[in-house]
Amino acid sequence: MSMIEIERINTYYGDSHVLFDVSMVVREREVVALLGRNGAGKSTTLKTLAGVLHPRSGTIRFEGEPIELLPSHKIARLGLQLVPEERRIFGGLTVEENLDLAALSAPAPLPLAEIFAIFPRLRERRGSYGRSLSGGEQQMLTIARALIRRPRLILLDEPFEGLAVIIVQNLLEVCRQLVAQGQTIVIVEQNVRAALSLASRAYVLNNGHVVFEGTSEALQASPDVMNRYLGV
């Protein structure tokens, strides 16, 4: 069974039509990449999935249940977790408090020890306030906040943006481990190579329309698609 079935959704920002009949499928234990230039609608798709936005038409099924009209907190409780693009760390809370908050509504949260095992850096900084963390540490924390909830599906929105190469490599390694453990992931990334190194399938969006759907290999073997929709 598919974990996510998006069927012809149309999302608007106010009355700006941003997603046009977008359809997507994500199966359990898959990693799917959502690619495209910015403005293409990738983040909008993730936000619609997470309930931050609601589509005007179309359906979204999560493990068979329709969720397109649910508020975001209910969707999070169902096990669909968005890791937002801006990271959105609570600057006035400590690292540990950020994690505690995330664990609050989770029925069986991951123990802190395990989180720190994945991100040892966060253990070092557990008492620091969110606002004092570096970009890379914030990204680790925002991913950790998602992981602590043991989500069925993680939506990663531009996790590598603005980070140094070394940190990106670190995070990619974490992601690979998660994949190996069977975590289902949808990743939005402008760094196409990084995204395709993780994902088995990819969708490409352009101006709110799906223009490509297929395996990563198929995409990489289509330089014309890559150039037309991902390059310049």
Partner 1 sequence: MGGSNRRRLKRWLPELSMAIALVILPFVFDTWLGSVDLFTRILIWGIFGLGFDLLFGRTGLLSFGQGAFYGTGGFVTAYLLTSGRMDNVWLALAAGVAAAALFSVFVGLLALRRVGIYFAMITLAFGELSFFLENSPLSRWTGGENGLPGVPAPSIQIGGLDYSFAGSWPSYQLIAGFYFIGFVFARFVVLSPVGSVLTAIQQNPQRTAALGHDVAAYKLTVFVLAAIFAGCGGALLGIFQSYMPPDAFGLDTSGQLVIQTVIGGAGTLIGPAVGAAIWLTLRDLLQQVPAIGDLWKFILGLVFVLLVTFMPNGVVGNIIRVWLRFGFRPAVATGTDRPGDVTAREALLAPLPTAIAPSLPPRLALDVRDISKAYGGIQAVDRVSLALPEGRLHAIIGPNGAGKSTFLRLLACEETPDSGEILLHGIDVAAADVTAAYQYGLAKSYQINQLFPQLTMRQNLRIGALGRHRGRLRLDIFRPADGFAKVEDIVAALLEELGLTECADLVVSTLPYGEKRRLELGLALASQPSVLLLDEPLAGLSAVEREGVKQLIRNLRKGRTIILVEHDMDAVFELAERITVLHEGRKLAEGTPNEISGDPLVKQAYLGGMTVP
Partner 2 sequence: MPTLPQFLSQAFNGIALGSLLALVASGLSIILGTLGVLNFAHGAMFMLGAYTAFVVLGHWDSFAIALALGALVLVLVGFATERGLIRFYYSRPKEDQILVTFGLGIMMVEAVRYVFGSLSQPVPLPSWGQGIVNLGFFIFPLYRVEVIGIVAVLLFTFYQLLYRTRIGLVVRAGIEDPLMVELLGTHVRRVFMVVFTIGAMAAGIAGVIYAPLAAVIPNMGEPFLVQCFVVVVIGGLGSFPGAVVGGIVVGEILSLTTLFDPAYSQAAIYAVMALVLIVRPRGLFGTMGRA
Which residues would be at the binding site for partner 2 (CB under 8 A)?
Answer: 50, 52, 71-73, 76-77, 81-82, 84, 88, 90-93, 97, 100-102, 104-106, 145, 149
Least distance between partner 2 and beta carbon 92 (Å): 6
Asked if 156 and 186 count as a contact pair (C-beta separation under 8 A), the reply is: yes
Least distance between partner 1 and beta carbon 157 (Å): 10
Q: What is the footprint of partner 1 within residues 171-200 (CB under 8 A)?
A: 172, 189-195, 197
Task: Choose one: 58-66, 115-123, 159-167, 178-186; the region binding partner 1 (CB under 8 A).
Answer: 159-167
Identify what 106 binds: partner 2, partner 1, none; CB under 5 to 8 Å per kind: partner 2
With respect to partner 1, which residue has the nearer C-beta, 23 or 170? 170
Least distance between partner 2 and beta carbon 71 (Å): 7
Please give the structure tokens belonging to residue 216: 């990563």
With respect to partner 2, which residue has the nearer C-beta, 35 or 103? 103
Long-range contacts for 221-230 (Cβ within 8 Å, ≥24 apart)?
226/192, 229/35, 229/36, 229/37, 229/40, 229/204, 229/205, 230/35, 230/36, 230/37, 230/192, 230/204
Instruction: Spell out the SS3 assignment of 27-92.
Output: ECCCEEEEECCCCCCHHHHHHHHHCCCCCCEEEEEECCEECCCCCHHHHHHHCEEEECCCCCCCCC
Least distance between partner 1 and beta carbon 215 (Å): 18
